[in-house]
Amino acid sequence: MDELNFEWDDANIGHIAQHEVTPDEAEETILSNPIEFDFEPDVEGEPRWTYVGETLASRILLVLITMRSEKIRVVTAFEPIKRIKTLYLQSKVEQQ
């Protein structure tokens, strides 16, 4: 499998920091077999995927990404509402 690369700059790092999420946490969530929660084919001219997953510390996050030049760009990341966390945990149990 090809290594996944992420695109970070001051804009997306600063945005997720407002939600008290670090780049490492967002990457861990995407790399830990998250559940695809939503897909929008055209937001501001690009496709966007929304995933819900966990960090290595078991923090559940919702991470919205797009692809740019074969790199994953995190658009935003934050702790989802309780209902989404519950759906994620139920889905995780069903996969076992």
* Residue 12 pLDDT exceeds 80: yes
What lies within 8 Å, CB to CB, of 57 at 6+ separation is 25
Cα within 13 Å of Cα(71), Cβ side? 10
Extended beta strands in 1-96, E state: 6-7, 35-43, 46-54, 60-68, 71-78
* Residue 13 pLDDT exceeds 60: yes
pLDDT for res 92: 85
Positive or negative CA dihedral for 10, 12, 13, 18? positive
Please write the tens of the pLDDT for every residue from 34-66.
999 999 998 889 999 999 999 999 999 999 999
CA distance 74 to 30: 10
CA distance 80 to 96: 22
DSSP state of 80: P
Percent of the chain residues past pLDDT 70, beyond the cut: 98
Name the pTM for this structure: 0.91
CA distance 27 to 95: 22
* Residue 2 pLDDT exceeds 60: no
